Amino acid sequence: MRLIYHIVCASDWNANDPAPYRAASLALEGFIHCSYGHQVARVANLYFAGETNPLVLSIDADRVYEILRDEDNGLGECFPHIYGPVDRVAIVAVRELHRDAQGQWLFDRDADL
């Protein structure tokens, strides 16, 4: 299974019903921002530094391949973007991020294996 990851505030995730998942960016930008495992901690620390309880959705890329695109962020780095809602069966795990002693978000992608 090939995994990609989406970071979401716990309050936003908990407000969703069992329908396919739609991040706010889907309506605003036309896609759901995702990351590869090696990008998650950096993205969390850049965009979720002030959050108290962000969650990471582990998404089976093979279940969203028809609407998944690998795209350059304009700085020479590619990120996965999902161009549509994500069926709940494609979300194989939901877990909390934890901080290190310096307050930085950590992510262990091997925890999904």
Residue 8 binned pLDDT confidence (cut-offs 50, 70, 90)? very high
For the chain, which domains are there? 3-112 (3.20.170.20)
* pTM, rounded to two decimals: 0.92
Q: Mean per-residue pLDDT for 89-109?
A: 93
Tens digits of residue pLDDT in 59-85: 999 999 999 999 998 888 999 999 999
Dist CA 93 CA 60 (whole Å): 9
Tens digits of residue pLDDT in 40-57: 999 999 999 999 999 999
